[in-house]
Structure 1
Amino acid sequence: MLEAGIGGVEIQILYALESGTRENLEYFSPEFFAILKFTGEEIHKRGMTMDLTLGSSWPFGGPFVPFVKSAPVVHPYSIDVRGPVIWNYDFTNRVAGEIVGCIMGRMENSEMIPASIRDISSKLEEKLLFGWPWGTQIRNLEVPEGDYKIVVFLAGQFREHVLMPSRGADGYVIDHNDREAARFFFEQAGTPLVERLGKGTVNSFFCDSLEVFGHNWTGKIYEEFERRRGYSLKPYIYALWGNIQGMTEEIRYDFHKTMSELTIENFFRVMTEWCHEMGSTSRIQAHGTWGDVLEAYGAADIPEGETFSAWDKYSVNTVHRRIASSAGHVYHKKIISNESFTWLRSPRFTETPEQIKIAADSIFVDGMNQIVNHGYTYARREGEGEQLSFYASSHICHTNPWWKYYGKLGRYINRVCDFLQRGEPVSDICIYLPQHDIWAENPLGDIHMCMKLEERLETAVIDRIAQSGYWFDYVNDDVLCRWKEFPYKTLLIMEADRMPEETAESIREFAEAGNLVICTDRLPSKGCGYRRGEDKGRRIADIFRQMTDQGLIHLAENKRDALFMLLEEKVHPDLKVEKGAEDIGYVHRRDGKADIYFVANMSQRDWDTRLSVYGERRAFCILDPMEGKAVCPRDYERTEKGTDIEIHFLQGQSFLLIFDSELPESEKDRNSLVWFDTKELDSKWHLEVPEKNFSCYLEKLEGFEKLEELKYYSGEAVYRTEINMSARDLSADCIILEAEQVGCAAGITVNGLQAGQWIQKPYVLNIKEYLHIGRNEIKICVSNLLINRVLDPAWKVEDYQGTVIDEWPYFTEPLNKERRKRLSNRSEKELIKEPFPSGLIGKAKLRLCHMEECSDNL
């Protein structure tokens, strides 16, 4: 890892794939602590850092978590009754779980009438069976005339367990709203680790995404709700599921607002508090929470986003990235990390370094500045059985054939992260998150706030804002009420009907200070919560109406063309891409006197384009972080608005653009390559695969998977050819080695000297300095994808036979189930029928060229 440029590790301890106690140490056993301490010592010897996921798997929980501290899941059970009647009902054996609320109310037109609602919890009686508590019943309840609904809320006995735990680590997930449960978890799962490893050994403790399925309640909700909202929730619990006339959305808002506060205060902040006590920092993925997600991310020392599936493209990832980076910016976190490359391609083992590079760029332009590879799988020694792999990863580790070329990518990622961790982010535009409407509109459930926000704002709209040259942060009420602390000059309010009065007043102050406020579709007109609901709504509507009358708000009739016409008229893009805006994105930071732009082409095509940088007339330089060198623009021009830079992007290429008055004036690239000769290299190649004891001469370059002996081979193939070079040939300014297709990464050696590597298209390399007059050897070592080996019919995952074995887990079915799901190649064989193209494919040539100066007309 260190040799590949990886600076640290995050350890996750997960499910078992084979029997035996040597391979599967008991969670928190003496052997467990011993190997973890040894690992930490070896990491620190190398100057690397160690992060650790607490517990085993996620969400947080384990065998030590008692039922009373686990995550409650409630659901309603309702009965329709027509009065007048004396009503009796036995819930025993009809419902499962503890009744945590019981009300009665009259129904009209499918709505419950507020004045008729009664809390009838006191009518619940314990039912005994031979003196033992057995169930619950209601007796002699007087139901008045009319159609009534009896509603009980049940906290079920079946609660979520941690996902995919290691040996001995199964157990309940904690209640993330309960401070006592959170502290209990950290003291049980974390403090013993620190006592044995030593304070500071763990750099950051990590919290994965909050996938607490079904969790929608907490034992202290009634007490906390009344304390925070000023009235009792008990009579109105039906609104969390059904409709109470004139009150439903206000009650739902107050409930979710309370749950949000409890989660942030009692889990996210408690985790960071405990980490600091242990001499470590907290790294948290907050997506999945129902809470104010910016505040949740902001509670971490290191907010972490996530990227899974095919994200080697340019698009704003609101759900898992941009909200996390926005939180890092508004809560002043230097490091904003990202779980990267999870399932970059499905099925597994088909991802390439090129895809990883572009995916990293898409992460950077969303505002993240630390990459966490997902993932590096524990592996046996060479030849010890099956290929081990982590199911939620891109298998970025030394058992992947192209791993030897990852170092080039690792250096690239380090260079970019180094620049993007400098100074402060720069963004003039902020977008208000309509979280209050989501709380008000959703019934009881484990709301995924980030997903709901993206659905409401719409991906196409957000992408168009970014592609129009506007970099933005998302903001919440906390930020808007402190707007003077931030550099924002434009606020966009989209799809927001509700907001607190304090936020509306702050927006008015923001506009009165000369800043731009744009609303789309409609103006906010509703307050938040039940108490004084109508008064607050009128106040919100009045504030925005007055702002409109005073010309302090611009209303776009829709968030599509109308919004973008208004933005184009009122706001200068920070960095405008003339051609290729759908593929080329940027992020901007300011470090002292220097302004740093990272600009990336996240596509499989070249772009000749102009970058218009608003307000900049200082000297600048352009760095290629992949090659580690400066490049010159084709041309640039100072304009009234700033600087226009003409630049050529190769497919998947990125640059660092730095403006600083202390830099020398940039030179223009006045030269172009003119070919004067081509030497074809598509014949006389010798192919050798030492691992398979195979060699042959090739009549033409085509994928070696077409050879029967190498059809399912994954590894390195060595191609050699020779070519005579004359003095005239070597008079060329450049001699470019070019290959049509490489499957999928290669190292090039010329006359025994390392000349370079290919990890992405175009496959070109200037090799002039390595050539001499006479005979020259060109050797290209190509590593292909792991998928070919996985598709091999000879590669099978065998079940453990029988039902009982002599080693843990003793019963075979749980182990076999995990092996079939996580270790087998079933999904790969279902989705892919033939091995992937491997080796050198198509034409290969040397291009001899001279440099010629271009005319001024570019």
Structure 2
Amino acid sequence: MRSKSKYLLFLFPILLFFGFQLIEQKAPVSSDWPEITQTAKPWTRWWWMGNAVDEKNLSKLLETYNAAGLGGVEIAPIYGAKGYEDRYIDFLSEDWLSMLDFTVTKANSLGMGVDITQGTGWPYGGPQVSLVNAATRMVIQDYEKADGKALATPILFQKKKESQPDAQLIAVMAYDENNKAIEITKFVDQDGKLNWNEPGSYQIKAIFLDKTGQMVKRAAPGGVGFTLDHFSKSAVDAYNSYFEKAFAGKDYGFRAFYNDSFEVYGADFTSSLFEEFKKRRGYDLKEFLPYLESEENTEIVRRVKSDYRETINDLLLNNFTKNWTDWAHSQSKLTKNQAHGSPGNLLDLYAAVDIPECETFGSSYFPIPGLRRDSADIRNVDPDPIMLKFASSAAHLTGKNLVSSETFTWLGEHFKSSFSQMKPEVEQAFLAGVNHIFYHGVTYSPEDVSYPGWLFYASLNLTQQNSLWPHFKGFNDFIARSQAILQTGQADNELLVYWPVYDVWAEPKGKMEMITVHAVDEWLHPTEFYKQSKKLMELGYSLDFISDDMIAKSKVNKGLIQTSDKNSAKVLIIPETEFMPIETLQIILKLAENGAKIIFQSKPKSIPGYHSDQKSKESTFNQLWSSIVFKEGKSKVGKGEIYLSDNLSKTLEELEIYREKLVDSGLDFIRRKVADGTYYFVVNHSADPISQTISLNTKAGTIMAMDPLTGKRGTISLESTADGTNVNLYLKSGESIFLKTFDEKVDLGIHAWPDYRKSVATTDISKNWKLAFTQGQPKLPVPQSMDTIKSWTNIGDPEADDFSGQASYSSEFDFKKSEGKHYLLTIDKVYESAKIWINGEYAGNSWSIPYQLDISEHLVNGKNTIKIEVANLMANSIRYLDRNGIEWRNYHEINFVNIDYKPFDASNWKTMPSGLDGKIQISEYY
């Protein structure tokens, strides 16, 4: 008995452990929506005009923002409004820090977050930036020295303005007719006389370290000064030190420092560049200046420029981005950075911060019927969602969860952007991997400033004075529900596509290669990288972009390429590439040896950069490539495989890496992997409704549909297949839905998802409505009665034509309701957002195409009442102000401009339709 007791005592912990394991495995699966966290809610850039803020208005505005569903603010101090100079507060002064402290404390009490721009306006800079630490450029002055004759012209910096400071002479180089270089700096005296007269004719180049003179753009009081030299570690350290001292002694509790897109114009140099170049590239750039300046499409020009641009990248990445992030971490803060616009490797720059941030700029075309896109009100910019994937790829591959976006910049002309226009734009960002939306933006405007309040010069202006504001929470809730899922689990992308940045850096035109959003037609669209990535995505593959450095940091785990502890992919694709470093090819071969699968579209043609032993290095590269022995396009390398194929999709099928065929129907998607299954975000941006069986490359026991517009959920019937799961899906044009696939068959305890394919009966309630104006500008029009519902800008009332605000349509109707049926209210046209009450109960918000809402639980048999509160755009009331000469825009610096950056004037605008129009119907479904 004693020995048996001991045996049982020994077994008890083991049985207990496995018992807990079984309990954990059999724990009920939740069908709830993921928690709406602070970061799941959208945040906004918060323009502090003139820093003219006070505690009373800060408190009230934060409460207003919180009530509207915003999760946080990003403080961005800028220029101020005229006439309020007595309220201005200097940036980083004791008063300003007190306002920051109050803001963070108040925000925290509301459960909101705060980020701050580390400066005012943009880019980084200010009065603390000395001339030595200011943005720098290389100026090269040319002289011709004839054979046997001394140089008559003194080598002195040629100022373009008398006020321009003297530039520092760095070096003087002489080049013979074969461009062989001799440094002759020591022969130049203090008066600029060249005491050097070697036989022969020479081109003389004097290299000066000059300052760009760029000042901070849109600076706030206390923030005026030179732009920072981002390539200089000492300059960046001094800049960070200034803020460290300002914040010393108190933790102000904000989350992150933020850095805007790289708009440092003309900065292409720093004092250590030649030294750093020689250390990193192995030769003296000064000896190759004729090639750096040339735009001839020759091999040596392209190689020298590539080396120069790579060096600039190294300095930006190490001296600014990584250095800045390390410093922020020492202050217990995160960093949020927009890498686009810079001259560096976007993937590595994004990856070096805590929250990579991309930007949506301008308006995309979507063929959704009824979606307004007036050519007169949009920028001449075609956003490309692939551009957004540079930020999301960097986050995914390095295991960072948040990918933010500066969203809706110049989506349309001021005061003309609706929620229905914003929805497909933000969905497009979600599909590209964005999951942390920041609006651009909201302007702090005090209570005593009359309508329309203080406004930033660029749209989108969503402020508390905006006529859409009372309906803003509905849009914010849609984003919050979506991001709650998109921030859950991990990205589920099977492909890695190599971005050949050296091909970009080898562009013979120009000196710097600024990789901007607006120049994608030059550096992105013509490349095979772009064409193949776009093609693969259109075929239904999920992918991320990968850099040379990210490849170097990857390893193989169970045949998958693991880029971090939180991310892995099935295959690495190398699109047609002109330049690839030897080191990258070596690492790719090592990955293959350890079990990775690699596909080359073609052999990389060469190695990047200029090398004194070019032939030897090219030979090494070719020998490495030759070690891959292909048989019918396939090579077994160690435990892995390397393919040579121009038909990527065919090779992926051979590798049993399958595309999501749901895209064949016209749907777009993105996936997130979670512990018990997979989330699919599925969007119909096509022109037609989609009603068909779609296949998912995920084996599921149960599938739940989740509507981010309403938060409603329901189970969907499924059919298991050999490759995954089939589901019947119906989405009208403009609709989106989340599908949650559960690995096991589970009882979620929720109803089945309604089938809205075909109605069995329809009731038209378009007749006999009353209209009452409730709140808005410039004055409330008189109430109206309507035989048939129509927009309030179509009733022949000039005051209604000028009105921006909210108005309520109300009516009564008789209805026969059947148990177990679903009833969908549809409105042909909503200008621009509708809140709906049925029988006095709030039923929901309808602001996006298609304008519909399930009102089943609110209807009763017999007589019903309906009230629809509509909020329109600000455009009509702004037109009224301009037509009547009422001044409302009066700001320092840029004041207020239209979408083409010309003086803003709405007086000639046409009336924007407002209210409801067309049929209003209730359709019955089984």
* 1:323 equivalenced with 2:390 (yes/no): yes
The DSSP-based 3-state class of the residue aligned with 1:790 is helix
1:256-295 alpha-carbon deviations (Å, 9 max, x no partner): 2222111111111121122122221111112222222222
* 1:636 equivalenced with 2:718 (yes/no): yes
The DSSP-based 3-state class of the residue aligned with 1:549 is coil
User: Deviation of residue 533 (structure 1)?
Assistant: 2.5
* 1:103 equivalenced with 2:173 (yes/no): yes
User: Deviation of residue 438 (structure 1)?
Assistant: 2.3
* Inter-CA distance 544–191: structure 2 relative to 1 (3 Å threshold): same
Please give the residue correspondences for 1:794-805 in structure 2 after superposition, counting only pairs within 5 Å: 794=883, 796=885, 798=887
The DSSP-based 3-state class of the residue aligned with 1:572 is coil
* Inter-CA distance 850–178: structure 2 relative to 1 (3 Å threshold): closer
Q: Which residue of 2 aligns with 1:479?
A: 550
1:213 to 265, 279, 288: 265
Q: Which residue of 2 aligns with 1:498?
A: 579
User: Deviation of residue 372 (structure 1)?
Assistant: 1.2
The CA distance in 1 between the partners of 2:804 and 2:448, in whole Å, is 14
The CA distance in 2 between the partners of 1:822 and 1:379, in whole Å, is 20
1:72 to 113, 136, 146: 136
Q: Which residue of 2 aligns with 1:841?
A: 917
Asked if structure 2 preserves the Cα contact closer than 8 Å seen for 1:353 and 1:409, the reply is yes
Q: Is 392-401 or 198-207 further displaced after alignment?
A: 392-401
* 1:268 equivalenced with 2:321 (yes/no): yes
The CA distance in 2 between the partners of 1:287 and 1:670, in whole Å, is 44
The DSSP-based 3-state class of the residue aligned with 2:360 is strand
Which residue identity does 2:911 align to in structure 1?
A: P
The CA distance in 2 between the partners of 1:234 and 1:571, in whole Å, is 52
After TM superposition, the score normalised by the length of structure 2 is 0.81
1:431 to 472, 497, 504: 497
User: Deviation of residue 456 (structure 1)?
Assistant: 4.6
* 1:689 equivalenced with 2:776 (yes/no): no
User: Deviation of residue 672 (structure 1)?
Assistant: 6.0
1:160 to 196, 208, 214: 214
Which residue identity does 2:662 align to in structure 1?
A: V
After TM superposition, the score normalised by the length of structure 1 is 0.87
Which residue identity does 1:304 align to in structure 2?
A: E
1:294 to 347, 356, 361: 347
User: Deviation of residue 46 (structure 1)?
Assistant: 1.1
* Inter-CA distance 125–440: structure 2 relative to 1 (3 Å threshold): farther
The DSSP-based 3-state class of the residue aligned with 2:151 is strand
1:435-479 alpha-carbon deviations (Å, 9 max, x no partner): 122223346634223646524536554332212111111111122
The CA distance in 1 between the partners of 2:899 and 2:668, in whole Å, is 37
Which residue identity does 2:600 align to in structure 1?
A: C
Q: Which residue of 2 aligns with 1:144?
A: 200
Which residue identity does 1:28 align to in structure 2?
A: L
The CA distance in 2 between the partners of 1:316 and 1:587, in whole Å, is 19
Asked if structure 2 preserves the Cα contact closer than 8 Å seen for 1:27 and 1:166, the reply is yes
* 1:648 equivalenced with 2:700 (yes/no): no
2:484 to 412, 418, 425: 418
Asked if structure 2 preserves the Cα contact closer than 8 Å seen for 1:730 and 1:768, the reply is no
Which residue identity does 1:722 align to in structure 2?
A: E
Q: Which residue of 2 aligns with 1:585?
A: 668
* 1:381 equivalenced with 2:447 (yes/no): yes
Asked if structure 2 preserves the Cα contact closer than 8 Å seen for 1:499 and 1:528, the reply is no
User: Deviation of residue 831 (structure 1)?
Assistant: 11
User: Deviation of residue 683 (structure 1)?
Assistant: 2.9
Asked if structure 2 preserves the Cα contact closer than 8 Å seen for 1:425 and 1:590, the reply is yes
Which residue identity does 2:584 align to in structure 1?
A: T
* Inter-CA distance 771–577: structure 2 relative to 1 (3 Å threshold): closer
* Inter-CA distance 612–547: structure 2 relative to 1 (3 Å threshold): farther
The CA distance in 2 between the partners of 1:529 and 1:313, in whole Å, is 45
The CA distance in 2 between the partners of 1:334 and 1:365, in whole Å, is 15
Q: Which residue of 1 aligns with 2:680?
A: 597
The DSSP-based 3-state class of the residue aligned with 1:376 is strand
* 1:541 equivalenced with 2:617 (yes/no): no
1:64-113 alpha-carbon deviations (Å, 9 max, x no partner): 11111011122333234443433332244745533333222233xxxxx2
User: Deviation of residue 17 (structure 1)?
Assistant: 2.5
Q: Which residue of 1 aligns with 2:400?
A: 333
Asked if structure 2 preserves the Cα contact closer than 8 Å seen for 1:527 and 1:540, the reply is no
Q: Which residue of 1 aligns with 2:507?
A: 441
* 1:61 equivalenced with 2:125 (yes/no): yes
Q: Which residue of 1 aligns with 2:695?
A: 612
* Inter-CA distance 413–846: structure 2 relative to 1 (3 Å threshold): closer
Q: Which residue of 2 aligns with 1:171?
A: 225
1:708-767 alpha-carbon deviations (Å, 9 max, x no partner): 121121101111122234xx4567934433221110101111222212211112222333
Q: Which residue of 2 aligns with 1:400?
A: 466
Asked if structure 1 preserves the Cα contact closer than 8 Å seen for 2:662 and 2:696, the reply is no
Asked if structure 1 preserves the Cα contact closer than 8 Å seen for 2:878 and 2:906, the reply is no
The CA distance in 1 between the partners of 2:739 and 2:713, in whole Å, is 10
Q: Which residue of 2 aligns with 1:724?
A: 814
1:14 to 54, 74, 78: 78
Q: Which residue of 2 aligns with 1:709?
A: 799
Asked if structure 1 preserves the Cα contact closer than 8 Å seen for 2:539 and 2:659, the reply is no
Which residue identity does 1:294 align to in structure 2?
A: L
The DSSP-based 3-state class of the residue aligned with 1:218 is coil
* Inter-CA distance 526–732: structure 2 relative to 1 (3 Å threshold): closer
Q: Which residue of 1 aligns with 2:147?
A: 83
* Inter-CA distance 437–672: structure 2 relative to 1 (3 Å threshold): closer
Which residue identity does 1:840 align to in structure 2?
A: L
| Structure 1 portions without partners, runs of 5+ | 108-112, 128-135, 801-811, 852-858
Q: Is 539-548 or 424-433 further displaced after alignment?
A: 539-548
Q: Is 298-307 or 492-501 further displaced after alignment?
A: 492-501
The CA distance in 2 between the partners of 1:672 and 1:614, in whole Å, is 25
* Inter-CA distance 830–776: structure 2 relative to 1 (3 Å threshold): closer
Please give the residue correspondences for 1:299-378 in structure 2 after superposition, counting only pairs within 5 Å: 299-311=352-364, 317=384, 320-345=387-412, 347-378=413-444
The CA distance in 2 between the partners of 1:830 and 1:326, in whole Å, is 41
Asked if structure 2 preserves the Cα contact closer than 8 Å seen for 1:528 and 1:536, the reply is no
The CA distance in 2 between the partners of 1:773 and 1:828, in whole Å, is 53
The CA distance in 1 between the partners of 2:683 and 2:755, in whole Å, is 23
* Inter-CA distance 609–192: structure 2 relative to 1 (3 Å threshold): farther
Please give the residue correspondences for 1:122-271 in structure 2 after superposition, counting only pairs within 5 Å: 122-127=186-191, 136-144=192-200, 148-188=202-242, 190-195=243-248, 198-199=250-251, 201-242=253-294, 247-271=300-324
The DSSP-based 3-state class of the residue aligned with 2:198 is strand
User: Deviation of residue 671 (structure 1)?
Assistant: 5.4
* Inter-CA distance 348–464: structure 2 relative to 1 (3 Å threshold): farther
The DSSP-based 3-state class of the residue aligned with 1:90 is coil
Q: Which residue of 2 aligns with 1:572?
A: 657
Q: Is 219-228 or 601-610 further displaced after alignment?
A: 601-610
User: Deviation of residue 658 (structure 1)?
Assistant: 2.4
User: Deviation of residue 795 (structure 1)?
Assistant: 5.8
Equivalent pairs, count: 809
* Inter-CA distance 246–380: structure 2 relative to 1 (3 Å threshold): closer
| Structure 2 portions without partners, runs of 5+ | 1-64, 161-166, 368-381, 556-561, 636-641
The DSSP-based 3-state class of the residue aligned with 1:334 is coil
Q: Which residue of 1 aligns with 2:55?
A: none
User: Deviation of residue 152 (structure 1)?
Assistant: 2.6
User: Deviation of residue 178 (structure 1)?
Assistant: 1.0
* Inter-CA distance 682–262: structure 2 relative to 1 (3 Å threshold): same
User: Deviation of residue 158 (structure 1)?
Assistant: 3.9
Asked if structure 2 preserves the Cα contact closer than 8 Å seen for 1:575 and 1:611, the reply is no
Q: Which residue of 2 aligns with 1:805?
A: none
User: Deviation of residue 774 (structure 1)?
Assistant: 4.5
* 1:457 equivalenced with 2:513 (yes/no): no
Asked if structure 1 preserves the Cα contact closer than 8 Å seen for 2:781 and 2:799, the reply is no
Which residue identity does 2:113 align to in structure 1?
A: T
Q: Which residue of 2 aligns with 1:809?
A: none
User: Deviation of residue 218 (structure 1)?
Assistant: 0.7
User: Deviation of residue 177 (structure 1)?
Assistant: 1.1
Superposed CA RMSD in Å reads 3.1
The CA distance in 2 between the partners of 1:120 and 1:753, in whole Å, is 86
* Inter-CA distance 601–75: structure 2 relative to 1 (3 Å threshold): farther
